[in-house]
A and B are shown apart, each in its own frame.
Chain A
Amino acid sequence: MGSYYDVDAILTDAQKVPCTMELTVPGLGYLEGNMSGDIKQGSKVELPLWLGEMLALSQSLNTSSLVTLDPPSALAPRVLNALKADPRTVDLRALAPHFYNLGARILELFEEEEMIEILSDSFKSRAGVIADQAHNPRGALGEGADFMRGLDENERQLFRAAHDSAKAVRTWMTDVKK
């Protein structure tokens, strides 16, 4: 998925996901702020996605995996319900800077047909608003400011692309008039 040097992919992988330890590991207590102790079986820790994924999927040494992954809070049912109700009012950036990328990575690990539908639909309806904002520079500063602040990284790139191409055409048109 993506290039090795893709900064957005790296940042996506660095986002924390909740994991439940399946084993008691001596000396790893600092993961939950317990400097000297052991980490107990069943305790919950926040691990970066890349680490959690590796620990959850590695089953080479013994039969049970080290941790189990839980869906991150950014993709909790509460958020998905809010997206279903009105995608435009959700502040995706506060949930996760790379919301859609995180969603895509989680969907690789969990099978959730409904989540695909919800994410696609909200991406589409938010893209419509993004296009309107990109063609209306005043709106991006005025009433649309809250929405613009809530865009995730993918949507920001989309906004920039739409804005730049509209600007290029406008520049060309003023050049022609001279």
Chain B
Amino acid sequence: MALPLPPGLTPPEVAFLCEMELVTVIPRQRLEGLALLGGPIAALNPPHRTSLPLWLALLLKRQRRANILPPPWLSPHSLTAILDHETENEEGFSPPPRLPPQPSNNTLPISPPFLPSSTAEAAPDALPYHWLELGEMLLGAASDDFEDPDNVRKLLRGLREVRMAKLRKGVDVLDAGGGVQMNGVGGMEVSEGRAFIGGVVDGLRKIAASREQQRRDKEREERENGYPGTGDYEDDEMDMQ
């Protein structure tokens, strides 16, 4: 109760994490390389594209020193295809992008913020983890770099609605044995759905607590006896189940 924040990450925190993602920029000015703690940043040479962290790209964009090249999945064509896939498949979400091939022995594996999931070379048919935040931030700061920003915005909104509805519907099948397929759910969606889904799971657990206790008692009894189902008393207990 000491911290007034709910468990999990708030939307601004998710967006902050998203700012480490790499995006492709086309610099308009020369800039020397920077040696930062988060990794060195290559020198910018005007006509050549470079991959930069989103925060730096947004900074340069605001200062009109660079243009951002939106990732291929953020085009109306790809988004329409993904949206169709989402509406057709009632179960599950559209799959996340494939991981790069396993690195050979003498190179280090690349982990999420440095994966090229949002650069110009990203896969056009899959939404990365930070799709919603990245899309919104790019549309906010660099809408003039999109071919059709209004259409992209509309499609993003539609995708978000469809996927949130799926998350909500997933609650109905929650049960002791059931589960929800949450592969491919993005960071912002987790942050939005966490409180509700967690609350439902908590409530269900509370209601079924007595049954859970009963089951645990029986299991312990069986363990202590060494084998299940001894004597008449336990047979009666089995009937109750």
Contact = CB atoms under 8 A, between A and B. Distances in A.
Question: Which of B140, B174, B192, B203 has the most chain A CB within a 10 Å cutoff?
Answer: B203
Contacts, number: 102
Given A101-B206, A116-B210, A131 B140 contact: no
B188 interface: yes
Given A123-B207, A162-B199, 19 more contacts: A104-B210, A111-B210, A113-B241, A116-B208, A120-B175, A123-B200, A124-B174, A124-B200, A125-B172, A127-B200, A128-B168, A158-B200, A161-B195, A161-B198, A165-B192, A165-B193, A168-B192, A172-B11, A173-B136
A60 interface: no
Question: Which of A113, A172, A175 has the most chain B CB within a 10 Å cutoff?
Answer: A172
A166 interface: yes
B191 interface: yes
SS class of chain A's interface: helix, strand, loop or mixed? helix
What are the 5 tightest A-B residue pairs by CB atom distance, in nearest-first order?
A161-B195, A172-B11, A162-B196, A107-B210, A176-B140
A131 B207 contact: no
A131 B198 CA distance: 13
Q: Report, as a range, how many residues of chain B touch the other chain.
A: 35 or more
B137 A165 contact: no
A168 B200 contact: no
A131 B171 contact: yes
A161 B171 CA distance: 15
Contact of A165 (B168, B195, B214): B195
Nearest to B240: A111
Contacts of A166: 192
Contacts of B168: 128, 131-132
Interface of B: 6, 10-12, 15, 136-137, 140, 164, 168-169, 171-172, 174-175, 188, 191-196, 198-200, 203-204, 206-211, 213-214, 240-241
A154 interface: yes
A168 B211 contact: no
B207 A165 contact: no
Contacts of B208: 116, 120
A108 B211 CA distance: 9
A176 B210 CA distance: 47
A10 B169 CA distance: 33
A176 B11 CA distance: 11
A1 B195 CA distance: 21
A16 interface: no
16 contacts: A100-B207, A101-B206, A103-B207, A108-B210, A111-B210, A116-B207, A120-B208, A123-B207, A128-B172, A135-B164, A158-B199, A158-B203, A161-B195, A165-B194, A172-B12, A177-B140
